[in-house]
């Protein structure tokens, strides 16, 4: 998402609006030092579970170019799925 922002040339507020995120979220991402470089193709990106214990049940898997795979629990809302897909498409 940060790479897409940098390539866009848009002001932070406009970029955030177009991508359905709050400008403060974008600003927080911009000020956080990158912990790891961009993963090599085919790597699994493990993200912390910010919502607590994951719900039991099936998960949905979405494959992206460069070998990235997104796994989401079946109970995700359409908005959550859209946000994650946009994030992965920006990688």
pLDDT tens, 10-63?
999 999 999 888 898 888 888 875 555 555 555 666 666 666 665 566 677 777
Per-residue pLDDT band at 73 (split at 50, 70, 90): confident
H or E stretch at 87: helix 78-90
- What CA–CA distance (Å, rounded) separates 21 from 18? 8
Whether pLDDT at 67 is above 60: yes
**Per-residue pLDDT, 3:** 83
Better-predicted residue by pLDDT, 13 or 3: 13
**Can you tell me the mean pLDDT for 86-90?**
76
Q: Are 90 and 6 in contact (CB under 8 A)?
A: no
**Per-residue pLDDT, 48:** 65
């Amino acid at each position: 998402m940060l790479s897409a922002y940098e390539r866009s040339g848009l002001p932070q507020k406009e970029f955030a609006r177009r991508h359905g995120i709050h400008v403060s979220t974008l600003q927080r991402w911009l000020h956080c030092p990158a912990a790891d470089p961009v993963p090599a193709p085919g790597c699994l990106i493990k993200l912390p579970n910010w919502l607590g214990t994951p719900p039991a049940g099936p998960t949905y898997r979405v494959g992206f170019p460069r070998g990235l795979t997104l796994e989401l629990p079946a109970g995700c809302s359409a908005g959550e799925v859209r946000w994650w897909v946009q994030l992965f498409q920006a990688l």
